[in-house]
Structures are given as structure tokens and as C-alpha cells.
Structure 1
Amino acid sequence: MLDNVFLTPQKQRELKVFRATNISGDLNLAALAEQDGMSYVEFYRTFRSLPNELTADAPPDQRYSLSASAYRQQLIKQSVPYRIIYATYKENITELDQVLIELSISQSTLQRRLKNLKNFLAQRDIRLDLSRVRLHGDERQIRLFYWYLFSDVAEDVGNLVPQICQWLPTVSKYFNLPTNAQTPRQAIQLNYIQVTLGRILSGFMVEKLGYIQVLEVTETTALKKFAQEMEVPEVGLARELTWLNEVLRHSPYFWSPAEITDLPSIEGLSERLIAVLQLTSSTHYFAGLVNYLNSCINYVTTSDLPVVIWSLMTPPASKQTSQIKQAIRLSLPLLPERQVQLLTTNLALILAPFIEVQELTICLWLAVDPSIHNRIINSLKAFSPFALKIIDGLTYPADLIITSQALPNDVMTEVPNYQWENGKTITKNLRDLLELFYGIVEVKGG
């Protein structure tokens, strides 16, 4: 999702072509273009536009020196929207003219490039103030945005505000964390602490807390000395450390809380959701899913913050989303509408991987040009409401067999099959194939 926010359509195409061609040996650009749903001319031109230096020092099994993930991070960091966000976080940039000079673009061009970013931020009640090059809104949400973005592109926050490194050991001790992460969980916690310190040192502090607050940091002699050294108000620093404790110890962003508020209605909601959506426990421990749902629901209802602010997962269908909202209203009838909507959005994303998805098995027994093979697969995927399991060869049970030759006598005749006819055009073959495929989908309830 961040790709759509920070990368222009051209850069998104470059990343797509980069991923498709990052292999050694000869390239069949026509087949790759077909597979990615691009015209050959567009694919070829994009491929030729990739920087030549990417091929320098490439590993033997790859065409480029960078991985797709590293190239994506590089493109985002070079983008105008990212460089604006980078500027909003730094201490010493407060004038738009300074940013425009660094970017070498006009203000009108800048406004066009920031359209998607502004829409993205507005959905989270965050406003980009270009006149002062700053973000405004709920400070807790702003920090979550910085934390997610900088973590996603592997940005060293210490480079943006150098004083962070001075205070990180002191703050991390409050939460029994080492200065150098030993585990992935500690790494994301320390990243969030670094983002927090950068905002404090730039003069931005949280104004309100959540409502869990198992541990509230109180004013002590040590805290007073700490506040004086950082040159921030003592009461403000106490509030900051209390919020850090809450978000690090209780937010499902960082881990699922071991203890939750004992509210029967919350437990009832998780059980209702699992029953209504007919969630499967085959890929997840059932008790673990219940516990995670309980903690997520508790966090949203008490802290009024999203559990998932953005996700690369595909949300469930609208029908499932409406079922989630109905389950919330039945279990928590007095919850304000805003929190109902908040819970619905977040739980839909959380539950998406666990919702049972019907799958159709398609067997391909084809002796055709590879580009036709890929086109058949892309056509079926484009028009299928179900997940497709594509198998090369004859395997049972199957929902559809696509072949370019007569089937063996021992193949069960009741299995729907389509024989690709070389005497017909590709378009005609695909139309006839999809007509048969629609019939199978209708029988399956699609």
C-alpha cells in the first residue's frame, strides 16, 4: 500500500519489471510482460530504463546487485513524498522554500506529487502542513506513522535527530530493553522509542494517553534530573514514559498483551466473530486466535487507536466486513459509532488471513507456447472469485482440466475439461474456456 502512496505509476512499473527480471540467463520479455499484464512495448521500455549500475556486482543467480526489497526501499527513499516526510521529522527544516530548492521542483509540481500522501494521512486524521513542513494531528498517530514508514524502508532515525543516540540507553532502561536489539521484537520496540525521542527533542509531545496504564511513571528525583538534562517539562516527560510503557507493553503493534481487562462482552465478541465467520483453526492455534482477538478488541476500545493502521494483507469481502460490524453491535451495543467503525476496519484486516477461502484446483496438461500458458492462468485468475490452485499435469481431485490433447481413457469423464483448439484464435479459445469456467464457478456458489 505504501508503494501507491510514495511511488509514481512509472516507478511502480519499474519495481514490477525489476522483480520479474531479477534472474540470470536469457530473458523472455514477451512472456514476462504477458505474465505481469503489461504490453511488450511498455515492459521493454521500462526494462531498458532501469539504471545500468544495478547490474554491477550482481550475484551469479541474479541479474541485479540489489534484492527487490532493497530496490523498493531505494525508490521510496528517492521519492518526493518520502523526502517531504523525511523533512517534517528533521529538526532544522521549517521552511518550504528550503525543501523546494533541495528537491529542485516547483510548488505546483510538489502539490501534485503529494496528492496520494495527503489522502493517506487524512484517513488517519493527520494533516501535512507544507508552510511549516510539519505534520499535525494526534501525536500518537503521527508517531505510529513515522515508526511504520521508517521501519519499512530501514531508515536510521538517529541520522535525522542525532541526539536520539544520547538518550536511547536511558529511556530503554525504563522498559528493561538493551540498547542493541537481541530479538526482532526488541528491534521494533527500540525503533518506536527512537521515533518518540526524535519527536520529543523536536518539541512535539503527547497530550493524551490511553486508559490501560498498568504502570504510570510518577515524578521522582531521577525523572526530574532526566527532564532537566533533556530540557523538557518534568510532567510532560512522565506522560511520555507512561505512554511509551502503554504502547510497548499493551499494543498489539508490538505484541499481544498477556493480560487483558476481564470484560465478558469482549470475550463474547471474539467467540461470536469466530462462529459467524466460520474461521478455521487449521493454520492457527484456536486458543491463540481467541487470545489475540481479545487483546486487540480490548486495546481499541480502551485506547481509541487503530490496531492496524495499514496493511499489506487483502481485506475480507464487504459481506464479511458487514458481519463483523453486526457482531460488534450485538456484543458491544453501547459502543460509540466511531469505535464500531474502528473495530470493524481493524478486525477485518486482522481476521483476513484466517477466513476460509474456497479454492478451485485447475490442472493444465498443455503443449503450447509458454506465453499462451501464462495468458490462460492470468485470465482465470482475473475472472475467478475464488483462489486458484494451478497444477501442471493431471491430478485428482480437480475442478477443471485444461488440455491441448485428447485425455487418456482412464481420466474420469465427470471432471469438467476444456481442450485448447489450435485451429481457433487465442481470444476465441479463451472466451469458450471462460464460459465453461463461469459454469463451474456458478455451481460452486461464486
Structure 2
Amino acid sequence: MLDNVFLTPQKQRELKVFRATNIAGDLNLAALAEQDGMSYVEFYRTFRSLPDELTADALPDQRYSMSASGYRQLLIKQSVAYQIIYATYQVEITSLAQVLTKLKISQSTLQRRLKNLKAFLSQRAIRLDLSHMRLRGDERQIRVFYWYLFSDVAEDMVDLAPKIAEWMPAATHYFNLPTTAQTPRQAMQLGYIQVTLGRILSGITVSKLGYVQLMEISDSAELNKLAVAMQLSTLELRRELTWLNEILYHSPYFWPPAQIANWHTIEGLSERLIADLNLTSSTHYFNGLVNYLNACISYVITTDLPVVIWSLMNPPTSQQTVEIKQAIRLSLPLLPERQVQLLTANLALILAPFVEVQELTICLWLSVDPSIHNRLINCLKAFSPYTLKIIDGITYPADLIITSQPLLVTDLHDTPNYQWENGKSITKNLRDLLELFYGIVQVNGG
């Protein structure tokens, strides 16, 4: 995850403790520490190190004034690694000395803090040039990296380069996009256009397009006007607009709704992947996978770039990777080795979250303090290898019923149940509950 790239282990612990303690009422730190796999001392010290101002103006049902996602974005933005990336995008930052002075750290400390970031970038053939405070590599890939990172932390790119705002209306005109997003997809598209304009403002343009055909642009007067404003030749601007068109409408980054390529074997590849990886076989998902594979294959073939550049999910097992490659070879035998490797690596990451996972239904019938209720749910989720469907009330069928009052035998229908004992400590209740829960997981094959 990007957390591992930009956050130190200490900051990752802070985020973990923040998430666990962002509930109103009294906290049982020992139980929360156990739930998160931390020692009590480590958990307590981390909890006490959280800034006091976080508790100001908190919502009634929360301890802190911001959400976990908001706090995560704040921590990433404050990190040394992010500050370096932020500086590489800015036009006026051109020397490492400027950044070191601002961060108030030594160059040796900087190198240690950048270790994970450099490894992350190198996997995508991007190099961090500290001597000139710039990213080096395939400009197409660099832009996708900036776009994803800035989108993830809700960075306003116009603040980084105000000139962008002047060029946006003319640039979006070519893609029939509004200057203000009306849908999530439009927000992503506009964000990528902003990244592109910021890079052009820094004097960096796309030098290669792969096998992409140049756009047919008839509005030459408007084109020339924009080229003059951006200090580009008409040919350079055409190339930039062509690449924008390829990204916005032909790449899988924006989940295009229609098929991109006309490969008769795509459906066979989809079926093979679903069978090999035990993916859900719903019609909705199957149709989506067909369209997505079309976009992935078309994009890989025309650009020779990875389909995705971030690692937000755990890499699948090596066996899954082998099965994906085998499915591609059998369904698309004429695909060159380079494209097979790109598709394999990226589809492995893309498909990992969709591998079918056992879902357990947990029914809660509790008359306890809300903080205990939330802690119980968080504990089960933390220790479950499966996804959990939590239901307040008793329903059937269910895999586990948790109550704070005795149930009639006729209520059980042979469903495992745990009665929360108010006279027992929260930690002891959770331990006994988890012992029962582990038994249920083993029965289901976990």
C-alpha cells in the first residue's frame, strides 16, 4: 500500500491506533491493543502521542475531529517522502538544498526516509533525481503516478501550479468535459488533465505514444491559441492531446463502459480466469470483466505500459500468477511475451480483491455500551480470514449469534451462539468469543 511507501513504521502505528480508538466513550486500551496485535505498552504510548488537537470539535459518536481517511491523508502529506514528490512537481523547486532547508533534516536522514519510495518507483521504471528534484523515466508512467498519488490524498493540483486553472477550459473542450466534475469519473479525468498541464508547465512533454493514432483536430484556430499560451508547437500540443485522449477514453484507469478492442477471444479469457481463480460468476461481474480485459489488452498493446502502477492490495500467490499467465497464453496465443508479462503482473493485482471469499453472517442482539458493541465488531473483523456480514438482530440462516441475554432453545436452530456476560471482563469475553469464532472458521475451511 502507499502507506508503506510514505509512512514510517511509527506513523503507520499512529494511524492504526487512531482507527481503533476513534469511538466515543471509555476505551479499554488493553482489549484494543490485543485486537490490533500490539503490546499494551506500545499501544498506550502511541495513543498518548496522538495530537491533542484531534479531539477538538469531535462528532458526538467519535473521539476525533477527522475521519481515519482524513488523518491518513494528513500523515502522508506531512511525510518526508511525500514532500519530496510534491517538490518534484512544482515548477519553482529545482534544488535539493531548498527542500532540505524546508524539512530541516540532513541528506543522510532523507536517504533513509526515501528507501521505500525509491523501490516503489523503480518497479515502474521511474527514477528520483534528487540533484535536480525531478522524476525521470517514461513521462506517461510518471504522470499516472502523480495522478494517482495526488488523487489519493486529495491534493489540489491547481494550488501546486495556479497557471493550470487558466488552461483547463481550453484543454477540457477537446474531450467534452465540464471544468467542474459532475461524476466521480469526471473528477478523475479532470485530475489527470491537471497533472498533464502541470508537467507541461514545467517544460516536460510526452515524447512517445506507442501505436496510438494522432487525433483529428479540426479547430485549428483554438489549437494554435492554446499552443501559444502553453508555449508549445502545434505538433507538440497535438501529441499531448492525443495522449490525453488515449488515457481518458482508451485506458482502463477510468473504467470505460464500452469494449475497446474487438478480440474474439476475450470472453474465453474471462471464462478461463473466472474458472481458474474461483471468481464470482455473476452476469454483472462477468460483463464488467470482459469490458475491463478489453481495455487492459488494448492499452498494453498500444502503449507497452503497465495497466496499473500502484500496489493497493496484497499480491496474489505465485500459483495464481501462474494460472493467470497460463490463461492468457491459452486464450491469446499470438500476444508477444512483453505483453503477456505486463498483463500477468497487472491482472494479478487487479483480480486479487475479486477472488471469491467466504462470507460469514454474524447476528448481534446486544444490550451493551455502544463502545463495547463497536469493539466487538472490530475484533471479529480483525481476526477473520473471511468477510463478515454483520446484522443487528436475529435472522436465519446465520453462522454465529451473539447476544447479551439467554436465548430459547427453539431460537437457535442449531446456530452457534455466544452470550456476552456482563459480569466478565471485556477482554475475557472477547477471548472466549474468539475461541468459538475460530471453531466456526475451521469448519468453513479457514
> Same fold, TM exceeding 0.5?
yes
1:248 matched residue in structure 2: 248
2:2 matched residue in structure 1: 2
Q: How many Å apart are 1:414 and its aligned residue? A: 8.7
1:24 matched residue in structure 2: 24
CA contact (8 A) 1:402 1:418 kept: yes
> Are residues 1:274 and 2:274 paired?
yes
- For 2:399 and 2:67, the matched residues in 1 are separated by 37
- For 2:78 and 2:170, the matched residues in 1 are separated by 33
Q: How many Å apart are 1:239 and its aligned residue? A: 0.4
> Are residues 1:73 and 2:51 paired?
no
Following superposition of structure 1 onto structure 2, how do residues 70-149 of structure 1 map, counting pairs within 5 Å? 70-149=70-149
CA contact (8 A) 1:219 1:234 kept: no
Q: How many Å apart are 1:24 and its aligned residue? A: 2.1
Equivalenced residues, count: 441
SS in 2 for 1:264: coil
| Partner amino acid, structure 1, of 2:116 | N
Q: How many Å apart are 1:311 and its aligned residue? A: 4.5
Q: How many Å apart are 1:113 and its aligned residue? A: 0.3
CA contact (8 A) 2:265 2:331 kept: yes
Query: Residues 101 and 23 (structure 1 numbering): CA distance in 2 closer, same or farther, change over 3 Å?
Result: same
Q: How many Å apart are 1:332 and its aligned residue? A: 1.8
- For 1:95 and 1:53, the matched residues in 2 are separated by 34
Query: Residues 281 and 404 (structure 1 numbering): CA distance in 2 closer, same or farther, change over 3 Å?
Result: same
Q: How many Å apart are 1:69 and its aligned residue? A: 1.6
Query: Residues 209 and 217 (structure 1 numbering): CA distance in 2 closer, same or farther, change over 3 Å?
Result: farther
1:328 matched residue in structure 2: 328
Following superposition of structure 1 onto structure 2, how do residues 175-324 of structure 1 map, counting pairs within 5 Å? 175-213=175-213, 215-217=215-217, 220-282=220-282, 284-324=284-324
CA contact (8 A) 1:306 1:346 kept: yes
SS in 1 for 2:204: coil
Residues 70-102 of structure 1: CA distance to partner in whole angstroms, max 9, x if unpaired? Answer: 211111111100100011001111111111111
Query: Residues 211 and 271 (structure 1 numbering): CA distance in 2 closer, same or farther, change over 3 Å?
Result: farther
Query: Residues 271 and 210 (structure 1 numbering): CA distance in 2 closer, same or farther, change over 3 Å?
Result: farther
After the TM superposition, which of the residue ranges 127-136 and 39-48 deviates more from structure 2? Answer: 39-48
Query: Residues 268 and 302 (structure 1 numbering): CA distance in 2 closer, same or farther, change over 3 Å?
Result: farther
SS in 2 for 1:128: strand
After the TM superposition, which of the residue ranges 117-126 and 400-409 deviates more from structure 2? Answer: 400-409
- For 2:405 and 2:180, the matched residues in 1 are separated by 62
Task: Name the structure, 1 or 2, with higher relative contact order (CA <8 Å, separation 6+).
Answer: 2
- For 2:319 and 2:232, the matched residues in 1 are separated by 50
Q: How many Å apart are 1:201 and its aligned residue? A: 1.0
- For 1:251 and 1:257, the matched residues in 2 are separated by 11
Query: Residues 305 and 267 (structure 1 numbering): CA distance in 2 closer, same or farther, change over 3 Å?
Result: farther
CA contact (8 A) 1:380 1:434 kept: no
1:356 matched residue in structure 2: 356
Query: Residues 12 and 364 (structure 1 numbering): CA distance in 2 closer, same or farther, change over 3 Å?
Result: same
Query: Residues 57 and 398 (structure 1 numbering): CA distance in 2 closer, same or farther, change over 3 Å?
Result: closer
Query: Residues 388 and 249 (structure 1 numbering): CA distance in 2 closer, same or farther, change over 3 Å?
Result: closer
1:152 matched residue in structure 2: 152
CA contact (8 A) 2:403 2:418 kept: yes
Q: How many Å apart are 1:377 and its aligned residue? A: 9.0
SS in 1 for 2:254: coil
1:41 matched residue in structure 2: 41
Residues 137-164 of structure 1: CA distance to partner in whole angstroms, max 9, x if unpaired? Answer: 0101100011111111111111212211
- For 1:319 and 1:287, the matched residues in 2 are separated by 25
Query: Residues 130 and 214 (structure 1 numbering): CA distance in 2 closer, same or farther, change over 3 Å?
Result: closer
After the TM superposition, which of the residue ranges 292-301 and 168-177 deviates more from structure 2? Answer: 292-301
Query: Residues 361 and 61 (structure 1 numbering): CA distance in 2 closer, same or farther, change over 3 Å?
Result: closer
CA contact (8 A) 1:218 1:238 kept: no
- For 1:11 and 1:218, the matched residues in 2 are separated by 52
| Partner amino acid, structure 1, of 2:169 | P
| Partner amino acid, structure 1, of 2:77 | K
Residues 286-316 of structure 1: CA distance to partner in whole angstroms, max 9, x if unpaired? Answer: 3233223322232223322222222434444
